[in-house]
Amino acid sequence: MGLIHKTKFIPFIDVSGAWKQIKKSTTFSLTFNPQTKTFDFISSENPEEEIDSYQPALSQSLTMFDDEDDYKAIFDMCFNLPTGGDAHRDVLLVFYAEKGTGASDSTEYYKAWKVDSVVKLGTLDSVNQSIDFDLALNNHDTGAVTIAEGVPTWKAGTWSGDTFTPAE
């Protein structure tokens, strides 16, 4: 038994077709934001609430190191102020604390989400040397990653307990 360390939840952002780890953030707050509906059934004395969907978001506070890929990618967005489709980036959330093996082989897989994300820029604070932004996590796909030399490779598929089955 042990606590799960912060280094076991790693976000990557797609920068020109390559996954770059968001390394220098001092915040990792994944909020699930359940979207609910309330029903006032005639058979119940009080209204009842049900979860309809989730609208997850990941808050980040990136420390500005000019030689880091994560800073370069986010500062480029700050400078260009993208909107619409230009504000979207693929994000990979790797849950290193959660791993298993393949259903048909002994490959080690880590649970992961691949997400179409809207990068919502917040504040560039030159005094605190940080850029705050939120990743609105739209349309996530559940799957896994394998890691080779620190680089994740995404595999779509499904999990059953600790067993991963890649999609065909």
DSSP 50: E
Look at residue 93 in the predicted model and tell me its pLDDT: 96
Q: What is the pLDDT of residues 19-36, one digit of tens each?
A: 999 999 999 999 999 999
DSSP-derived 3-state class of residue 81: coil
| Fold entry, domain 6-36+49-166 | Pnp Oxidase; Chain A (2.30.110)
Domain locations in the chain?
Answer: 6-36+49-166
Q: What is the pLDDT of residues 22-73, one digit of tens each?
A: 999 999 999 999 999 999 999 999 999 999 999 999 999 999 999 999 999 9
Note the Cα 75 to chain centre separation in Å: 19
Note the Cα 16 to chain centre separation in Å: 18
DSSP-derived 3-state class of residue 14: strand
Look at residue 48 in the predicted model and tell me its pLDDT: 95
Q: How confident is the model at residue 133 (pLDDT cuts 50, 70, 90)?
A: very high
